[in-house]
Structure 1
């Protein structure tokens, strides 16, 4: 029965991520009357919501049911999408972002934990990265096709991409009901004690602590990169009709990365791969402002290589450090820190975009990415030195 999860997992991941609104989301928000500062403030609210909900929902998945957690994830995200369709009010949109945050956290940790435990149950946990990468590649291909369609659909009717995404989220919820719960050891601690124990594991285990610090950096630079595409497109005077084509290209790069590069680097030390990814992110912000031109949009695709490799590599690295009974909660703790950094820094980028413009904003994020990568490299060396000397 557990083998069924290996079929259900990529289907669930496909539909829960099949939001085809990516290329037109910023133009849609501008159409709804929002400024860049308001857009980034909404993203900060979403990140704070994830920060608040992340660990409690991870604990629910650990102590009660992974399947129900995944089912509710699609339901709350669908309601949030509906609010964006029906209303034109900043405060309603803020509520929508809170619901998106709740939906995201209900799936965060629970989905990857369920896949890892299913493979472990049948003695194939070494397949985790490959299966995670394959599932991601299907998502990126689907989002790529959806990106092309969304541009044309948006020009015909601004709301069509949102309605299609709404249906996809409800479909994901129904698919989640087909999962089989894996028999596993559950935490003997009460709810609050379980969370505190998981926090202790995350911050006292050197390798997981490093992952937490890495997530703080990547949580900001990876997510803010998406919201900075449209300002750069406007900077180089790219017509909105091309947005979908560009996003299709981006998604194909991400699909290639998750399908082929995950396998290529699966035998490399995960921390070395992760440092390489943060370096690519730094370059993806700095190079486009050195060469400000339409062709330089291709340099932004460096972020898509990161997008394809990051989740499989990071989750594989973390999963190997934790016991089953704390798995989803510790993964959620790492994600919590990621969202906190984005919540704090993204409004700064929004204000810079409104007041300073695109080029200074890209430079700021590029400097954060480069200095953060250097700090993580030095932390890794320090941890190795302590281990050798102890």
Structure 2
């Protein structure tokens, strides 16, 4: 096969990948433990916030170690295979998490979970982008990826509404154990995926070469390098807020049975952010859209740190909307610049950077929450994302301007007649 000719599709309609991927996203994220998992670890398993943060740090260190090797699996042997392995290992991780009674087994569940996440990340964006490219619709990536994120948020919304009441009438372990079923169902849906066609040379790159070339692209392409920095800052902050939201709500007086009801509009705000990101970019331009959502995110964190009332929950809407809107914008900014044969591995490089930043920050932030308050951590995160995230955004914006200027045709030099 010629290196520039695409591989043929498997028999059948390639467009079925999109609705099946939406279902995959929904089922993977229909995790009934979402509204109570920190309380499950703290109140049922007896862990402190610092211990929970330490497990999160381990989780992200696993991601740092495995992200690019597993991303290269998707580039070398197929996006579908990587997604299936990710779904199967996710089901195993949830099972261990739900039956573990000691710290060692909980750590094991986090280890398996980290590997599961790396098998899925990178492969998922490459799978969607390559499907759209083969259909001649790659310009729709931000919109389609936003929809996929919205299905993920919808699953979180449903899980929030059902998980907390289920825990209230049974115990905190039941929602975790019941979530194994949806993880298994996600793997079953993944069996129906059709591997997107790639250039003939893409499938023949050696595994080690995929890793080397992807690392070189991520390090040497200035807009990609800068956007990875933006993603790292806000990604690490997002993980911390995810851990601390439940204790924050309990601290301001929300009872366990109502946690899901309170979190439902927050999940709905996330869903809306994912769905509207492409419209925001189309109306304002990519650069201004990034500045808007990142500035709103930092301001919401600062306000949460200053607020002491239950009505501060409204600020979580702004926080989750802006965080969700950033994700498809960042995924598009990284994915569209990556060569097709390296797409999954380059996306994994971004996740690796987020994992490293998260691993380094979660335990200190957990200690700060234990020794001071959750609100103090929100203040630190707000200031950090404003300063570091703002600097990274300015770096990315300058890199994009330089790249666009280099691509613009130069006006021919003229000489004035004597």
For the aligned pair, the TM-score class normalised by the smaller chain equals: over 0.9
Task: Mark the CA change 1:388 to 1:321 in structure 2 (over 3 Å): closer, same or farther.
Answer: closer
Query: Within the alignment, does 1:16 sit opposite 2:28 as a pair?
Result: yes
Deviates more, 1:334-343 or 1:238-247: 238-247
Offset at 1:384?
5.8
Offset at 1:187?
5.5
**Match of 2:365, SS?**
helix
Whether the 8 Å CA contact 1:113–1:328 is kept in 2: the answer is yes
User: Which residue, out of 155, 166, 173, partners 2:187?
Assistant: 173
Query: Within the alignment, does 1:26 sit opposite 2:41 as a pair?
Result: no
Offset at 1:75?
1.1
* Structure 2 unaligned spans of 5+: 1-12, 407-418
Whether the 8 Å CA contact 1:73–1:104 is kept in 2: the answer is yes
User: Which residue, out of 301, 318, 331, partners 1:315?
Assistant: 331
Task: Mark the CA change 1:18 to 1:189 in structure 2 (over 3 Å): closer, same or farther.
Answer: same
Deviates more, 1:367-376 or 1:343-352: 367-376
User: Which residue, out of 269, 272, 294, partners 1:278?
Assistant: 294
Query: Partners of 2:101 and 2:259 in 1: how far apart?
Result: 24
- For residue 229 of structure 2, what is the aligned residue in structure 1? 213
Deviates more, 1:134-143 or 1:243-252: 134-143
- For residue 6 of structure 1, what is the aligned residue in structure 2? 18
- For residue 175 of structure 2, what is the aligned residue in structure 1? 161
Task: Mark the CA change 1:295 to 1:267 in structure 2 (over 3 Å): closer, same or farther.
Answer: same
Deviates more, 1:255-264 or 1:10-19: 255-264
Query: Partners of 2:327 and 2:351 in 1: how far apart?
Result: 11
- For residue 100 of structure 1, what is the aligned residue in structure 2? 113
- For residue 112 of structure 1, what is the aligned residue in structure 2? 125
Give the aligned CA root-mean-square deviation in angstroms: 1.8
Query: Partners of 1:219 and 1:374 in 2: how far apart?
Result: 14
Query: Partners of 1:180 and 1:298 in 2: how far apart?
Result: 42
* Structure 1 unaligned spans of 5+: none
**Match of 2:337, SS?**
coil
Whether the 8 Å CA contact 2:166–2:174 is kept in 1: the answer is yes
Query: Partners of 1:320 and 1:385 in 2: how far apart?
Result: 16
Offset at 1:311?
2.4
Whether the 8 Å CA contact 2:76–2:203 is kept in 1: the answer is yes
1:65-214 matches, within 5 Å, as: 65-157=78-170, 158-185=172-199, 186=202, 188-214=204-230
Moved over 4 A (4+): 384-390
Query: Partners of 1:381 and 1:130 in 2: how far apart?
Result: 22
Whether the 8 Å CA contact 1:129–1:266 is kept in 2: the answer is no
Query: Partners of 1:141 and 1:378 in 2: how far apart?
Result: 33
- For residue 291 of structure 1, what is the aligned residue in structure 2? 307
Structure showing greater radius of gyration is: 2
Offset at 1:188?
4.6
Normalised TM-score (structure 2): 0.89
Cα deviation, 1:312-350, whole Å, max 9, x if unaligned, reads 111111121011100000000011001110000010111
Task: Mark the CA change 1:191 to 1:289 in structure 2 (over 3 Å): closer, same or farther.
Answer: same
**How many pairs are equivalent?**
390
